[in-house]
Amino acid sequence: MRVSLLGTLDPQQEAQDGQTSQLCQRQGAPGPVTGLLPRGVTLRGTYSVRDQAGAPGADLSVPITWGFSLASAPATHFIPSGSPAPSGCTGGTGPAPAADPGNLCIFATGGTNVSSVLVFDPVTAGSDTSEPYGTGLIVAATAPGEFGSFGSWAVTGS
């Protein structure tokens, strides 16, 4: 029987052998993966914003969602490209984002024609804040033409 990390590769052969792989017999907790992100568990992702500006100050907003809820809204940090990680983002970098418990750290790794990047709460429209389940970015252009920002993020349960 050939076995992959996800189970058997040849179900007909397994049926003939009358055996089930040990991996297929393991059972996790019942139900879907939902609920609060446990304390100390870090989720990571990327963001990318690109658009054409017709005028200086034109902007585009994008959501960032992490799929789990936190116990409370995280402290929110935006780290421009080349800047050191602040308190709350210990050891984090653009290629290896990190966040201390209860923090969201967004690391810009590049961009073009960008005058500002604002982290905002898409529910309340508050700036420099987030919700327990996500946040938003508004990227504004310096001048007409293509503009964009890209990077990585990490959020850790508290």
Structural domain spans, the chain: 1-31, 42-156
Residue 7 has pLDDT above 60, yes or no: no
Q: Tell me the C-alpha distance between 133 and 119, whole Å.
A: 14
- Which helix (DSSP H) or strand (DSSP E) does residue 154 occupy? strand 145-156
Look up the pTM and report it. 0.78
Give residues with Cβ within 8 angstroms of 95, minimum separation 6. Answer: 109, 152
Q: What is the mean pLDDT of residues 125-144?
A: 96
Q: How confident is the model at residue 128 (pLDDT cuts 50, 70, 90)?
A: very high
Three-state SS at 84: coil
pLDDT of residue 35: 79
The number of beta carbons lying within 10 Å of the beta carbon of residue 136 is: 18
